[in-house]
Amino acid sequence: MAAPRPLMDRAERIQPAAYWELLMNLTRREVKGRYSQSLFGLTWAIAQPLATMVVFTLVFARMANLSENGVPYPVFVYAALVPWFFFLNSVNSGTMSLIQYRNIVTKTYFPREIIPLAQVCSRLLDLGAAAALVAVMMAYYGVSVTRWLLLVPPLFVLLFAFTVAVTLLTSAVNVFYRDVSPVVQIGLQLWLYVTPIAYSFSRVPARWQGWIAINPLSGIIEAFRSAIVYGREPDWALLTLSSVLTTVTLIGAFTLFKRLDKYFADVI
CB 58 within 8 A of CB 198: no
Q: Supply the mean pLDDT for the chain.
A: 89
Does residue 262 carry a pLDDT above 70? yes
Per-residue pLDDT at 4: 39
- Beta-carbon contacts of 102 under 8 Å, excluding residues fewer than 6 positions away, are 268
Whether the pLDDT of residue 32 is over 90: the answer is no
pLDDT above 70 for 142: yes
What's the mean pLDDT in 85-93? 96
Does residue 9 surpass a pLDDT of 50? no
Half-sphere exposure of 100 (CA within 13 A, CB side): 16
With beta carbons less than 8 A apart as the criterion, state whether 79 and 230 touch: no
The pLDDT of residue 8 is 46
Q: Please give the average per-residue pLDDT across 72-100, as a whole number.
A: 95
Res. 11: pLDDT tops 70: no
Indicate whether 118 pLDDT > 60: yes
Integer angstrom CA distances of residue 73 from 57, 85, 120, 136, 153: 7, 18, 29, 15, 24
Single pTM value for the model: 0.91
Q: How far is CA 14 from the centre of its chain?
A: 27
Percent of the chain with pLDDT over 70: 90
Euclidean distance between CA atoms 23 and 264, whole angstroms: 19
pLDDT for 209-257, tens place per residue? 999 999 999 999 999 999 999 999 999 999 999 999 999 999 999 999 9
* Contact partners, residue 33, CB within 8 Å, separation at least 6: none
Instruction: Kindly indicate the confidence band of residue 66, based on its pLDDT and cuts at 50, 70 and 90.
Output: low
Amino acid 116 reads P
